[in-house]
Amino acid sequence: MGFLTLASLSKVYGDHAAVRDVDLSVAKGEFVSLLGPSGCGKTTTLQMIAGLVEPTRGTITLDGRDITHEKPNTRGLGIVFQSYALFPHMTVAQNVAFGLEMRKVARAERDKRVKTMLGLVHLAQLADRYPRQLSGGQRQRVAIARALVIVPPVLLLDEPLSNLDAKLREEMQFELRRIQQSVGTTTIMVTHDQAEALSISDRVVVMEQGRMTQIDAPYRLYEHPATAFISSFVGKMNRLDGVWRGQGPSGTAQINGVSLPCEQASFPDGQTVALSLRPEKILLRAHGQGRVDGTIVNRFFLGSYWLFTVETPVGALSVSVPNHGEEPAGEGDAVALDWTPASLRVEAITATAGAAA
């Protein structure tokens, strides 16, 4: 039994199920991300935990206590909203003190805790400013401080970084993780940004159309995506359709008659299969020295790595190569591609799954 447990949690609006039978168990101190495209039900799930949306079915248990129908003001959870939702008429210190004031914490104690918290988020010198005098990243940190100062059992973050520009977003990601680890608060973050979810979570929950389709550690999610949707949504992925030739484990995956070494698998002869291969798992070799030959049709420089599109007899493949400081092969060059067999994943395409995809 986890610290925070959701059991068959559902929310139905009219005849549309926003969240369907969600089961999740979060351990104390864990950082869990709910990841999915917009409209997948991740925010509704968060709002049900917060008590801002009444669940249609299911239960929410916090530390052994059923809080499914408890009012948001008695749950005691900390929430950071996408818009930050700061009180515009209060100073930074007053914003942070609000929750303590509601808890009737004595003045001296209150000031001390607000000061400590503002120190933690590096805002001590801005305590008397108003929210509109702060930058986006600073407002964000005020919102986090306001939510954490009440020492909530669970911190809920609703797309906390989506209103920040790219550079700041990256910085705040690590900042968020640092703050979370230093206070040790159990945290649930909703996000549509897979990079954000992978980089700072202990576990990632992928949601599709109101359901949870995979709950895993970030690297497992990346290496072993449970569905085709997840493999394309999390990171970049080359996907090819092939056929399994040969009987059982001794067979190989083929595309247009070209045999492609792949992970250990076993399918009946003639089975159509989906092949997936991450761009960074492919190595660029000299022409004739790899598993398939090809021609570079596009080359993009992305700072820390180069991204190539290589046209091969089995189809166009994306290949990413770390930047070692020298200029690599250019557009039009003939190259060969190589990979370790284990990195090429094979899945059977059933008639229905094929139709859906």
Partner 1 sequence: MQKNGPIALAFHTLVVAFVLAPLLVICLVAFTPENTLSIPTTSFSLRWFREIFVHPDFVASFVNSLWLATLSATIAIALAVPAGLAIDRYDFPGRDGLNALFLSPLIIPHLVLGVAFLRLFALIGATGSFTWLVVSHVIIVTPYVLRLVLAALSGMDRSAEQAAMTLGASHWTVFRRVTAPMILPGITGGWLLAFINSFDELTMSIFVTSPATVTLPVRMYMYATESIDPMMAAVSALMIALTAGAMLVLDRAFGLDKILVGQK
Kindly tell me which residue out of 98, 183, 235, 323 binds partner 1, with binding defined by CB under 8 A: 98
Q: Which of 14, 88, 184, 288 binds partner 1 (CB under 8 A)?
A: 88
- How many C-beta neighbours within 10 Å does residue 276 have? 19
Query: Looking at 59, 82, 199, 227, which residue binds partner 1 (CB under 8 A)?
Result: 82
Our CB check for partner 1 shows the closer of 75 and 291 to be 75
Is residue 55 within the footprint of partner 1 (CB under 8 A)?
no
How far apart, in Å, are the Cα atoms of 219 and each of 3, 20, 65, 225, 241?
Answer: 23, 26, 33, 10, 25
Per CB under 8 A, the segment of 49-57, 232-240, 283-291, 319-327 that binds partner 1 is 49-57
Asked whether position 83 contacts partner 1 by CB under 8 A, the answer is yes
Smallest gap from Cβ 80 to partner 1, in A, equals: 9
Q: Would you count residue 91 as binding partner 1 (CB under 8 A)?
A: no
Helix (H) or strand (E) holding 141: helix 136-148
Task: Please choose, from the candidates 258, 335, 337, 326, the residue with its C-alpha nearest in 3D space to the C-alpha of residue 296.
Answer: 335
Cα–Cα distances in angstroms (integers) from residue 186 to residues 146, 211, 340, in the given order? 16, 22, 39
Closest C-alpha to 20, from 45, 50, 46, 49? 45
172 and 137 Cβ atoms separated by less than 8 Å: yes
Of the two residues 3 and 130, which places its CB atom closer to partner 1 in the complex? 130
Please give the Cα distance from 83 to 162 (Å, whole number). 9
Is residue 81 near partner 1 by the rule CB under 8 A? yes
Write out the binding residues for partner 1, residues 123-142 only, by CB under 8 A: 130
d(CA 58, CA 263): 40
* Mask for 170-209, x = binds partner 1 (CB under 8 A): ----------------------------------------
CA-based angle 169:170:171, to the nearest 5?
Answer: 90
Which residue from 41, 66, 75, 69 is spatially nearest to 55, judged by alpha carbons?
69
Among the residue ranges 86-94, 271-279, 287-295, 314-322, the one whose residues contact partner 1 (CB under 8 A): 86-94
Q: Which is nearer to partner 1, 129 or 211 (CB)?
A: 129
Within 143-172, which residues bind partner 1 (CB under 8 A)? 143, 146, 150
Catalog residues that contact partner 1 under the rule CB under 8 A.
50-52, 71-79, 81-83, 85-89, 98-99, 102-103, 130, 143, 146, 150
